Structure 1
Amino acid sequence: MQDFSFTRRGLLAGGAALLAAPALAQTFPDRPIRLVIPFPAGGPTDVYARFYSERMTRELGQPVVTENRGGAGGAIGAMEVARARPDGHTLLFGTASTHALYNLVTRQPQYDAAKDFVAVATLGGGPLCWLAHPGQPATLAAFLTAARGANPPLAYGSPGTGTLMHLATEILKRESGATSLSHIPYRGAAPAMNDLLAGTLALAVNTLGAGLPLHQSGRARMLAVASNARAPQAPDVPTAAEALGRPGFTAVLWHAVFAPPGLPAPVLARLSQATNAALADAAFRTSLAAAGIEPAAPGTPESAAAYIAAEQDRYRPIVEAIRPELEG
């Protein structure tokens, strides 16, 4: 069996990196940076990663080259970065899936999201939204009321069991009392959306960026968006907190940048500084908003690690509550 004991290797590599830290700090980056996207091209993570790479190329003065390494729900690309040399020239464009949910939902995880990576920065991401077929009730509250008494039960579709979309909707079910709403896992978001548009699925959960064109065209109705405030692109759509009457209900498919363990502190500081400059740029934030992405505020590696740990704690109870479904 292949050895994925990254932590020990990371400690050994980290010792060597500390000796080289002054030289690295003076020259970093001295060649192109490889930004690994652990999912296939075309999805929301890929979209944000390419915005980020373009902006970071300008900030760092070296090309930041994206590389899609999809597979195993993001684990293949993540493990590749965890094994890389910790010099800042190989980074991971991670997500809630790879670094909040992976160790919670995976029966035999092959990496430790906390120990086998260094968090550089959280970047924000796409808030989730719930889309209904036009023939369904027009508000989230009305839909959930209908779901409570439906016979046969109404169903919602997600991109797969254990995804953020699945877990967030399970929280929504429990907080609204619509526990009879059943889950249909799909192999990705696109098949679920196809069934929704065809009228064979009552509800689907996706990101705001993916749902906006369908809502704006009238092909589907966005019932709520799980963001802190209404989306400027769809001001008619209430937040999930508004729709449920439960302040603070949010769910974001967030993104973050990670490096291998043992990254020298001066290199980490340079990457953090460049990322903060990108996040503070008005043109960059405007481009993201047009794609349905909510950028994070500038922060620190420490605040990024704390946020990720809090997200793990947030989703741990629902994962334990639906453990039989996850392992079925």
Structure 2
Amino acid sequence: MPVFSRRSLLALAGSTLAAPALAQTFPARPIRLVIPFPAGGPTDVYARFYADRMTRELGQPVVTENRGGAGGAIGAQEVMRARPDGHTLLFGTASTHALYNLVTAQPQYDQAKDFLAVATLGGGPLCWLANPSQPGTLAAFLAAARNARPPMAYGSPGTGTLMHLATEILKREAGGVEISHIPYRGAAPAMNDLVAGTLALAVNTLGAGLPLHQAGRARMLAVASAARAAQAPDVPTAAEALGRPGFTAVLWHAVFAPPGLPEPIMARLSEATNAALADGAFRAQLAGAGIEAAAPGTPASAAAFIAAETARYRPIVDAIRPELES
């Protein structure tokens, strides 16, 4: 039978008592939610909704802070190096935590090892928008693109982003049609050029593209959701437009903590997030902005989902590797 010293027994008792006490006292001060992209984009919109709701759930202010740059890597690294006490969190995306290590030649962090996934939150399905001078359906646009010389071009928020990869998948599903990629420094500049007529096609989230579509400043050709969007029932899904069942692409979001976060604090954050995701009013608020909320889950299910998404995009990243390295 093992023999324990008085010191080790006291330490064991202290840690056992500390766990529930830690959960009861957290959060002790405002929580900083780092958004690793500039203000005004789809990630920023969802993060602010989430912060407001978590403020109510946790009883302390959840304050958003935009730390854009390097495709989200600057903000991500800041959280990675933060004290793991739950008071600094990252509002990550598919780009920062499924694609980053796939597309970055010299990554500054390991998306799986250097963070703990708290929860997946869902997000906005992607959509493709054409300038109103272009053909009005995806099939007609693709037919015109096949015969265009020089090739037509599409704009994305940047090389290696989910929008870029999803459009490359779209091109392959359409039989390998040639449409040149023009990377922008964010979604807004690409949309500006689309509306101005200097760009034939652009890819964005449903929530960001919907106002332009409704105003007639751009024409939404397809949305990459599983079913037609309630906000745009006239727009077919990409699966419908291509005749390819199962084609979806969602800019999903997730909350991450630095490594070493104590389990009681992780459980408290997960519990509060699940309470938000289960609330009908919160889900309706998100739906109004073109965001599909995820179902409540666990940190383990979040980590499994992110691993599956990384595996899903690996083949397409490998296929466009020359472009990424040019």
What TM-score results when the alignment is normalised by the length of structure 1?
A: 0.92
| Cα offsets for 1:20-47 (capped at 9, x unmatched) | 5443223111221111111121111111
User: For the Cα contact (< 8 Å) 1:37–1:77, is it kept in 2?
Assistant: yes
State the partner residue of 1:168.
Answer: 166
**CA displacement at 1:19 relative to structure 2:** 9.6
Residue 176 to residue 18, structure 1, CA distance change in 2 (3 Å): farther
State the partner residue of 1:69.
Answer: 67
CA distance in 2, matches of 1:21, 1:205: 46
State the partner residue of 1:118.
Answer: 116
For 1:295, the aligned partner's letter is A
Residue 155 of structure 2: SS of its match in structure 1?
strand
What TM-score results when the alignment is normalised by the length of structure 2?
A: 0.92
User: For the Cα contact (< 8 Å) 2:41–2:187, is it kept in 1?
Assistant: no
State the partner residue of 2:148.
Answer: 150
Identity of aligned residues (%): 87
User: For the Cα contact (< 8 Å) 1:144–1:178, is it kept in 2?
Assistant: no
State the partner residue of 1:297.
Answer: 295
After TM superposition, list the pairs within 5 Å mapping 1:212-291 onto structure 2.
212-291=210-289
Residue 157 of structure 1: SS of its match in structure 2?
strand
Give 1 or 2 for the bigger CA radius of gyration.
Answer: 2
State the partner residue of 1:24.
Answer: 22
Residue 326 of structure 1: SS of its match in structure 2?
helix
After TM superposition, list the pairs within 5 Å mapping 1:82-93 onto structure 2.
82-93=80-91
**CA displacement at 1:149 relative to structure 2:** 2.3
User: For the Cα contact (< 8 Å) 2:36–2:72, is it kept in 1?
Assistant: yes
After TM superposition, list the pairs within 5 Å mapping 1:24-103 onto structure 2.
24-103=22-101
CA distance in 1, matches of 2:208, 2:109: 30
Pairing partner for 1:138 from 136, 139, 156:
136
**CA displacement at 1:322 relative to structure 2:** 0.7
User: For the Cα contact (< 8 Å) 1:148–1:178, is it kept in 2?
Assistant: no
| Cα offsets for 1:201-234 (capped at 9, x unmatched) | 1111111111101110111110000111111111
1:129 aligns with 2:130: no
Residue 160 of structure 1: SS of its match in structure 2?
coil
Residue 88 to residue 19, structure 1, CA distance change in 2 (3 Å): farther
CA distance in 2, matches of 1:180, 1:18: 62
For 2:260, the aligned partner's letter is G
For 1:285, the aligned partner's letter is R
Tell me which moved more, 122-131 or 83-92: 83-92
CA distance in 2, matches of 1:192, 1:131: 11
CA distance in 1, matches of 2:271, 2:203: 35
Residue 257 of structure 1: SS of its match in structure 2?
strand
CA distance in 2, matches of 1:273, 1:53: 15
Q: Which runs of 5+ in 1 are unaligned?
A: 1-16
RMSD over equivalenced CA pairs, Å: 1.5
CA distance in 1, matches of 2:16, 2:257: 15
State the partner residue of 1:4.
Answer: none
Residue 20 to residue 261, structure 1, CA distance change in 2 (3 Å): farther
Residue 222 of structure 1: SS of its match in structure 2?
strand
CA distance in 1, matches of 2:105, 2:16: 35
For 1:49, the aligned partner's letter is A
State the partner residue of 1:109.
Answer: 107
CA distance in 2, matches of 1:90, 1:21: 19
**CA displacement at 1:109 relative to structure 2:** 0.3
**CA displacement at 1:140 relative to structure 2:** 0.9
State the partner residue of 1:7.
Answer: none
CA distance in 2, matches of 1:204, 1:18: 55
CA distance in 2, matches of 1:221, 1:71: 30
Q: Which runs of 5+ in 2 are unaligned?
A: 1-14
**CA displacement at 1:18 relative to structure 2:** 9.5
User: For the Cα contact (< 8 Å) 1:145–1:178, is it kept in 2?
Assistant: no
State the partner residue of 1:13.
Answer: none
Residue 92 of structure 1: SS of its match in structure 2?
strand
**CA displacement at 1:257 relative to structure 2:** 0.2
For 2:261, the aligned partner's letter is L
